[in-house]
C-alpha cells in the first residue's frame, strides 16, 4: 500500500511527463482531478491495461489532459476525436482506446460522432469533461450551459435548455453510462475502471470546476473550493432521485451509474465476423 503522503509523487513519476510540468491549467482547475481519477483507475487496473491504452482527445482545455501522460496520445481536431478513435479501434481492437473530450467538443461540434459511436456500440471509453461552457476560447455558452446561466455569449442568461448526456446516449445505444463530479473522486474512479473493461461504447461524464470561467460567470464562485462544495450540495444520487418528485430535482446534478447493458454485441466483434464472411470463412 502506498502511503498517502507519497501517492501524488509516485503516480506522477510513474505515469506523467514530469519534464513538461507545470501544466497549462489554471490554478484550482478540476482537470487535474480528472487526471488523477484516470491515473488511479490504471494504478488499480494494473500495468498491462495501461500498456495497451491509447488516448485520443479533441480541442479545448480538456483536450490537454492526456498529453501529460507517458502514453501514446493523439490530440486531434475540435469535435473529431471520436472519428479518429473509431478508426483506431476498428484497426486495433485489442487496444484500450480512451477518448477525452470537453462538453462543447463532444456535444456541440462533435455531437454527430458521439451519437453514432453510441449507435454502433464501438468499444471506446469516452470521458466527457463538463464545465458547462467553452473554456479554452473564453467562456462561451455550450450545449451543457444551464438555462438562464450567464456566459460570455449569454450576458442576459441563456434561453436554451441544456443537453442531458446520459439520456442522449441511452437513446442512441450506449451500453455503459455514468455521471459524477470531481467531488465524487472515488466513485468516478470506480466507474472508469468498469468502463475501461466494458465491451461496448462506455461514457463517463465528469463535471469539473473551471473557476476561471464557469466559477465567475455561471456560479458566481471564483474559488474552486466553493465550486466543489456546490457540486457536493447540488448532486443527487440516482437511487435517491428515483424517489423524488421531478420538481424537486430541477437544477440538480443526478450522479451515479445510469446504464450497464450486456445485450448488445460490440462493433469490432461484428466487424471481425463480417471480415470472416467476406473471405468466405
Ligand X SMILES: Cc1ncc(C[n+]2csc(CCOP(=O)(O)OP(=O)(O)O)c2C)c(N)n1
Residue identified by cell 501514446 is 72
d(CA 238, CA 280): 48
Residue 160: strand, helix, or coil: coil
210 scored as a contact of ligand SF4 (CB under 6 A): yes
Number of residues interacting with ligand SF4: please give it, by CB under 6 A. 11
25 scored as a contact of ligand SF4 (CB under 6 A): yes
Element (H, E) at 27: none
211 scored as a contact of ligand SF4 (CB under 6 A): yes
| Interacting residue with ligand SF4 among 131, 162, 175, 187 (CB under 6 A) | 131
Taking a C-beta distance cutoff of 8 angstroms, is the pair 147, 161 a contact?
yes
Select from 81-89, 123-131, 229-237, 261-269 the region that touches Mg ion (CB under 5 A): 123-131
117-136: which residues touch ligand X (CB under 6 A)?
Answer: 129, 131, 134-136
The distance of closest approach from Cβ of residue 188 to ligand X in the complex, given in angstroms and rounded to an integer, is 17
57 scored as a contact of ligand SF4 (CB under 6 A): no
For residue 211, the partner it binds in ligand SF4, Mg ion, ligand X, none, with Cβ less than 5 to 8 A by kind, is ligand SF4
143 scored as a contact of ligand X (CB under 6 A): no
d(CA 123, CA 202): 7
78 scored as a contact of ligand X (CB under 6 A): yes
In this structure, what C-alpha cell is assigned to residue 14?
A: 510513474
| Interacting residue with ligand X among 30, 102, 123, 211 (CB under 6 A) | 102
* Residue 265: alpha-carbon gap to chain centroid: 23
61 scored as a contact of ligand X (CB under 6 A): yes
142 scored as a contact of ligand X (CB under 6 A): yes
Counting DSSP H helices and E strands in the chain, the numbers are: 11, 10
| Interacting residue with ligand X among 35, 43, 103, 205 (CB under 6 A) | 103
For residue 26, the partner it binds in ligand X, ligand SF4, Mg ion, none, with Cβ less than 5 to 8 A by kind, is ligand SF4
Which residues are paired to 235 by β-bridges?
Answer: 253
For residue 66, give the nearest of 117, 115, 7, 129 by alpha carbon: 129
Spell out the SS3 assignment of 260-279.
ECCCCCCHHHHHHHHHHHHC
What is the C-alpha radius of gyration for the chain, rounded to an integer number of angstroms? 19
56 scored as a contact of ligand SF4 (CB under 6 A): no
Select from 25-33, 181-189, 233-241, 269-277 the region that touches ligand SF4 (CB under 6 A): 25-33
For residue 166, the partner it binds in ligand SF4, Mg ion, ligand X, none, with Cβ less than 5 to 8 A by kind, is none
Burial of 222 (0-12, 13-18, 19+ CB in 10 A): middle
d(CA 35, CA 175): 24
Binding residues for ligand SF4, rule: CB under 6 A, are 25-26, 29, 31, 61, 131, 135, 210-213
Binding residues for ligand X, rule: CB under 6 A, are 59-62, 78, 102-105, 129, 131, 134-137, 142
Amino acid at each position: 500500500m502506498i502511503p498517502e503522503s507519497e501517492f501524488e509523487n509516485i503516480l506522477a513519476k510513474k505515469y506523467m511527463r514530469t519534464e513538461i510540468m507545470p501544466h497549462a491549467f489554471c490554478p484550482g482547475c478540476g482537470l487535474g482531478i480528472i487526471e488523477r481519477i484516470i491515473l488511479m483507475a490504471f494504478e488499480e487496473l494494473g500495468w498491462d491495461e495501461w500498456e495497451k491504452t491509447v488516448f485520443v482527445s479533441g480541442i479545448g482545455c480538456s483536450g490537454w489532459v492526456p498529453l501529460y501522460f507517458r502514453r501514446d496520445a493523439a490530440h486531434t481536431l475540435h469535435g473529431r476525436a471520436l472519428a479518429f478513435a473509431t478508426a483506431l479501434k476498428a484497426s486495433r481492437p485489442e487496444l484500450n482506446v480512451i477518448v477525452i473530450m470537453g462538453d462543447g467538443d463532444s456535444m456541440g461540434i462533435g455531437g454527430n460522432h458521439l451519437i453514432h459511436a453510441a449507435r454502433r456500440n464501438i468499444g471506446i471509453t469516452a470521458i466527457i469533461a463538463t464545465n458547462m461552457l467553452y473554456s479554452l476560447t473564453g467562456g462561451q455558452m455550450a450545449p451543457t450551459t444551464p438555462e438562464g446561466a450567464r456566459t460570455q455569449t449569454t450576458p442576459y442568461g441563456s434561453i436554451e435548455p441544456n443537453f442531458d448526456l446520459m439520456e442522449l446516449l441511452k437513446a442512441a445505444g450506449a451500453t455503459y453510462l455514468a455521471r459524477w463530479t470531481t467531488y465524487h473522486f472515488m466513485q468516478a474512479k470506480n466507474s472508469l475502471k468498469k468502463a475501461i473493461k466494458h465491451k461496448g461504447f462506455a461514457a463517463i461524464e465528469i463535471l469539473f470546476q473551471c473557476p476561471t470561467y464557469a466559477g465567475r460567470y455561471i456560479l458566481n464562485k471564483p474559488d474552486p473550493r466553493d465550486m466543489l462544495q456546490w457540486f457536493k450540495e447540488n448532486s443527487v444520487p440516482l437511487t435517491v432521485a428515483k424517489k423524488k418528485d421531478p420538481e424537486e430535482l430541477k437544477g440538480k446534478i443526478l450522479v451515479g451509474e445510469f446504464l450497464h447493458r450486456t445485450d448488445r454485441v460490440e462493433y469490432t466483434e461484428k466487424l471481425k465476423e463480417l471480415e470472416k464472411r467476406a473471405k468466405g470463412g
